Amino acid sequence: MSSISKSGVDLNPLVIGNLASNYLNVTTAKDEFGGNSMRNSDFAKVSWTCQGDNTWRTLFENFQDARGTLEIWGSDTSAMDRARYSFAVTTPAYGVSDWGNESYLNGGWNTGAFNLQLITVGSGYNLNFQFSSYYSSNNVGTFYAHWRGVFS
* pLDDT at residue 42 tops 50: yes
For residues 42 and 140, give the distance between their C-alpha atoms in angstroms, rounded to a whole number: 30
Of 16, 86, 102, 109, nearest to 57 by C-alpha is 16
Of 73, 69, 57, nearest to 102 by C-alpha is 69
* pLDDT at residue 49 tops 90: yes
Q: What are the Cα distances from residue 87, in Å, to 45, 82, 117?
A: 17, 17, 12
pLDDT computed for residue 29 by the predictor: 66
Across the strands, what pairs with 143? 48, 74
For residues 78 and 12, give the distance between their C-alpha atoms in angstroms, rounded to a whole number: 21
Query: What pLDDT band is residue 10 in, cutting at 50, 70 and 90?
Result: very low
Helix (H) or strand (E) holding 59: strand 57-61
Q: What are the Cα distances from residue 150, in Å, to 14, 28, 42, 66, 89?
A: 19, 18, 7, 8, 12
Question: Tens digit of pLDDT for each residue in 116-139?
Answer: 999 999 888 899 999 999 999 999
- CATH class of the domain comprising 12-149: mainly beta
For residues 21 and 140, give the distance between their C-alpha atoms in angstroms, rounded to a whole number: 14
pLDDT computed for residue 102 by the predictor: 93
pLDDT computed for residue 5 by the predictor: 42
